[in-house]
Amino acid sequence: MEHLPKDPFMLVSAINMLLRDHEFDSLEDLCANFDQDPEDLKSRLLQHGYTYSEAQKQMRPVGYDE
The confidence score (pLDDT) of residue 1 equals 82
Q: Are 45 and 12 in contact (CB under 8 A)?
A: yes
pLDDT over 80 at 66, yes or no: no
pTM for the complete prediction?
A: 0.90
What confidence tens digit (pLDDT) does each residue in 8-59 have?
999 999 999 999 998 899 999 999 999 999 999 999 999 999 999 999 999 9
The confidence score (pLDDT) of residue 29 equals 97
Q: Are 52 and 27 in contact (CB under 8 A)?
A: yes
Q: Are 59 and 16 in contact (CB under 8 A)?
A: yes
The full set of domain ranges for the chain reads 8-61
CA distance 61 to 50: 4
